Structure 1
Amino acid sequence: MDPQSKAVAAVNQHRDKTACLREMTLIIDDRTAAPLVDGLRRVLTPLRVALEPRRDLRPGLLRWRRSTDRVWSEPDAAWRPLRHPHVRDEAWIVVVMTTREWVQHLTDAGRRAAFLDALETAYPRQMGHRYMLVFEKMATYLNGRANAMARAVALEARTPGQPPTFWPTSGELDALLFDLQMTPGVHLQKSLDVEDTCQWIQTFTTQIAMDPEISRRLQSKLELGVGDTVKTAATEEETWPLMLMQIYGITQTCADAIVRAYPTLHRLMTVYSQLPETDAVHLLDDLEIDLGAGHHPRTRRMGEALSSRVYQALVLKDPEHVIMPVGLENGAPSG
């Protein structure tokens, strides 16, 4: 095999999670609070993901950059090697704030518009960028709301003419978040605390890193010079999780949780067929999703929204049926 053919063969071998993660750099605004920076360094360093602090739009803003030695060729339906590494920015822009900080941006329409305009100017959605807004410590905000309101009332009483402070209730905050989620290209994520945020970013980084590899595997049709075909998902064990990840909102970690419980599509469909629809739609509600190891291993439930989406995607036969995005079932914002 000549050197060029060897290079083509090499870049078309399946890359595992470790190899994909090594391509990634997480860029974080250098004014971001130390606990978040330190936590991200702790969870990403073992994955060989570089962390690069630099001045960006605002504290708490994160984005990803990939350095890769290959480019996808649509005519060939295969990867082509590059002589020099290609560096490109990923589409996702993440902004992390505490819920109290977010309230300051959400409750005033002018400030909300200015915040989104600043993001749009720096990272235009027309260029493919998408925004993930992380709301941290919502429970802490709600628990402290009553005391904060009492202090605000006392302050306003001492300072005549002081504009009233708006501390949204849980329902009011959900309504504001729902309105924000209706903005094209804007997605929301709630987080318990800094550690929870770091674990979520670790999982999200893995998802971003693996996306080109997973999305291209089923497209790859390249015949190598030695007669070997670059394999795609040739077995059910390989195909089943890839099928699940075609469902909106089902990440690799979600798919892994489903596959652990139901190793084959046939097994899951068999269980579905034995249950009434009212029970089948909730079959996966309590499946535990692994959020990563770290110092304190964490899991979370699959939840009703994702369980319902899997059921609808696999069972319902109506071609006109629209499966709502995660979190919008029954008009509820995502959590």
Structure 2
Amino acid sequence: MFERLKAMLVKEFIQTFRDPRMRVVLFVLPMIQTVIFGYAVNMDVRKIPTAVIDRDNSPQSRELLQVLFASGHFRQVAQLDDERQTARLLDSGRARVAVVINHGFAAQLGRGGTASMQALIDGSDSNTAGVILGYLSRLAEERNLQLLAEHAARSGIIVPPAAVRLESRAWFNPDLASPPFYVPAVIANILYIITMLLSAMAVVREKEIGTIEQVIVTPIRKYEFILGKTLPFVLIGYANVFLISLVGWLVFRVPVRGSITLLILATGLFLMSSLGTGLFLSTISQTQQQAKMSAFFIIFIAMLLSGFAFPIENMPLPVQWLTMINPVRWFMEIIRGLYLKGVGAAILWKQLAMLLLIGMAVLGTAVLRFRKTVG
């Protein structure tokens, strides 16, 4: 048994790594993708290109704009005279928001009235528009408190301290930066893509090149054939987890705070699902092209419903039920828990159990579907 399995493993390793370009694809490109994803997938909204129309041109309006741009959230790209110019800037995307201060701004403040400031926001990106609106609302609130304190000081009025004061503290990600949240998720996505594609072409490649007939006449058993086909991809998967984790730590300073042993265990359970799905596709496909297209379809759906970018809680209830059978979702929750929170199996037992159940079901189905026959 061990000799047959060893021969099968050697054959698969030679077949996988004989092309030098394949080594680059399997080990170098995932690290490059991690760096690109880490920098590109960034939900932080900073230095928003901002156009300004200051019709009042008073010390008060200039002070307000100075506070606006000193916050670091906004970056002035143009000083305009009328709103027609604003439309061109928003249409072209050169500005995401235009701040308009009309005549009489300082006069209204001087009389103790309410002075208005208008914000024209590009709403084509609803998420960014909501963040911009939040920044401006907070700025207006802080400015109101400052004006109230100044007015009270001039009038000799003692302003009591606020009855409620919010003291917020962000756990696990104090700077609220994007890389600590997205880099661990990249591990799940890349691992799923690589291992599923490799296993999806495992058996069907034998059919295409005609070597499946040679396997049929050998005394190798079904489970030995499957182990020989999948074990190399398991090792490749673990190697990618190590390399991507190393890149995440060195480049983005995102270390594993939880148990390394638990990460290894969770990766093994996840590989059961990804390799099982790929192997199943390989047994029902007649060509490598069919296997690739089927794998990409499943990968796209799995990543979309994994919680990578869109919170599962915001999805419709039927879609949330559908995510229950998505192994990428559970592995992503585990890996984020290990990287960001440093939690253990006492917290992640549900995710581990779901990965085990899905992996056993998928891999079991693939093994039952497998037939050591041509076609």
Both structures adopt the same fold (TM-score exceeding 0.5)? no
Which of the pair has more CA radius of gyration?
Answer: 2
**Higher RCO, 1 or 2 (CA under 8 Å, sep at least 6)?**
2
Structure having the higher strand fraction is 1
Structure having the higher helix fraction is 2
How does the TM-score come out when normalised to structure 1? 0.29
